[in-house]
């Protein structure tokens, strides 16, 4: 159950995102960093919303704070809020204080790097691709093999070189290269007790849920308003079927988002996140397709808002593991363990 504080945070975020995500900004170039808009997020404490109370945070409900990412997806907010919320929690928990400014992290599947050295002197070098908002990040987290396991290195701005890139939606998505000493300033070694691939999959699942909900609202409203042969589109059986399928996918995404909000940062939540991201990615592609079919040619025009969400869905569907990528991993794990009853295996192991 939500506390009064949680309700206030969500309502405040809803109003803030609605004001920030103005059409002129969303339809324009996103290459320039919107410092004033980020300042508004920071003034409400949202980037540090997942930092635990014992680490200097606010101690609010994780489930409700992660719902803020879903709201950001609903408004197509082009800022690295989810990445910053997750990275800030990890940095603060490692004793790095409360970080300032935007943060990001790399997908381990798109990272190629090493930690080398000994006798108290360590270096790290490597390259990571497709990092959201890397050019604007004050710190970037990368996961690397170390001491027989995995460690997370927090690279400070100036410790890495950036090659700019962009997503289909025009948001920054860059490649970085680094070769620095792990000295606690340029690079800091923090605990590797969370899988960054799963963390990224979780925040993308939440954002997908918000964007699909927005597509449902937009498409339903369009079908109610649009007249064809003297009747509203909603009076045609084919359109009704499309809207019913779209509504079903929105429910699927909402359920997936609820699942990852409870599973993130838990030691046994990996399978729940993997399955949720696989299903949400599948739903993202289907939802975008249906929305464009119902809208017709107008939905493909640059002036219409529909592509602001469909392009993000197509991007988020692939980032931090597509449905095919996660389904292969889950299937391989099932095959390796030889589970005789797959349904029981999924439902029991998910909460084990």
CATH number at residue 263: 1.20.140.10
The verdict on 168 and 23 lying in the same domain is: no
The verdict on 66 and 131 lying in the same domain is: no
Q: With 70 as the cut, is the pLDDT of residue 346 above it?
A: no
Domain boundaries, position 148 = 103-190
What pLDDT is stored for residue 9 in this prediction?
A: 85
The verdict on 302 and 274 lying in the same domain is: yes
Q: With 60 as the cut, is the pLDDT of residue 350 above it?
A: no
The verdict on 180 and 221 lying in the same domain is: no
| Stretch among 117-126, 188-197, 258-267, 334-343 having the lowest mean pLDDT | 334-343
Q: With 70 as the cut, is the pLDDT of residue 306 above it?
A: yes
Q: With 80 as the cut, is the pLDDT of residue 178 above it?
A: yes
What would the two tokens of residue 263 be? 């599973």
Q: What residues have CB less than 8 Å from 79, skipping those under 6 apart?
A: 34, 37, 38, 41, 72, 102, 133
pTM: 0.94
Residue written as tokens 């929105």? 250
Per-residue pLDDT tens over the stretch 311-330: 999 999 999 999 999 999 99
Nearest to 219 by CA among 175, 249, 184, 189: 249
| Final residue before a domain boundary, out of 190, 205, 239 | 190
What pLDDT is stored for residue 4 in this prediction?
A: 57
Give the pLDDT mean for 20-28: 92
What pLDDT is stored for residue 262 in this prediction?
A: 95
Nearest to 258 by CA among 279, 244, 284: 279
The number of folded domains in the chain is: 3
| Final residue before a domain boundary, out of 147, 171, 190 | 190
| Final residue before a domain boundary, out of 58, 93, 128 | 93
Band of pLDDT at residue 208, cut at 50, 70 and 90: very high
CA separation for the pair 177, 154 (Å, rounded): 13
SS3 3: coil
What pLDDT is stored for residue 351 in this prediction?
A: 44
Band of pLDDT at residue 3, cut at 50, 70 and 90: low
């Amino acid at each position: 159950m939500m506390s009064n504080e949680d309700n206030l945070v969500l309502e405040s975020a809803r109003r803030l995102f609605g004001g920030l995500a103005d059409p002129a900004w969303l339809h324009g170039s996103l290459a320039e960093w919107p410092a004033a808009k980020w300042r508004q997020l920071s003034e409400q404490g949202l980037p540090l919303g997942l930092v635990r109370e014992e680490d200097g945070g606010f101690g609010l409900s994780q489930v409700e704070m992660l719902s803020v990412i879903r709201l950001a997806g609903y408004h197509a907010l082009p800022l690295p809020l989810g990445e910053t919320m997750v990275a800030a929690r990890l940095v603060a928990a490692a004793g790095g204080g409360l970080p300032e400014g935007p943060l990001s992290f790399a997908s381990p599947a798109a990272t190629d790097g090493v930690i080398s050295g000994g006798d108290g002197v360590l270096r790290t070098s490597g390259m990571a691709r497709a990092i959201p908002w890397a050019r604007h990040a004050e710190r970037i987290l990368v996961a690397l093999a170390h001491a027989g396991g995995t460690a997370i290195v927090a690279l400070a701005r100036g410790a890495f070189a950036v090659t700019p890139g962009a997503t289909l939606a025009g948001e920054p998505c860059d490649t970085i290269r680094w070769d620095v000493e792990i000295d606690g300033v340029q690079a800091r070694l923090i605990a590797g007790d969370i899988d960054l691939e799963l963390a990224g999959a979780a925040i993308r699942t939440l954002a997908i849920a918000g964007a699909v909900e927005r597509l449902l609202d937009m498409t339903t409203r369009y079908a109610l308003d649009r007249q064809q042969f003297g009747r509203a589109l909603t009076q045609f059986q084919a359109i009704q079927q499309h809207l019913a399928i779209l509504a079903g996918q929105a429910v699927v995404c909402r359920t997936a988002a609820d699942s990852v909000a409870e599973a993130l940062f838990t030691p046994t939540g990996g399978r729940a996140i993997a399955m949720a991201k696989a299903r949400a990615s599948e739903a993202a592609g289907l939802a975008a397709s249906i929305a464009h079919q119902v809208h017709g040619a107008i939905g493909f025009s640059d002036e219409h808002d529909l592509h602001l969400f469909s392009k993000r869905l197509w991007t988020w569907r692939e980032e931090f593991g597509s449905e095919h990528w996660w389904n292969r991993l889950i299937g391989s794990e099932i095959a390796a363990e030889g589970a005789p009853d797959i349904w029981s295996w999924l439902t029991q192991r998910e909460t084990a």
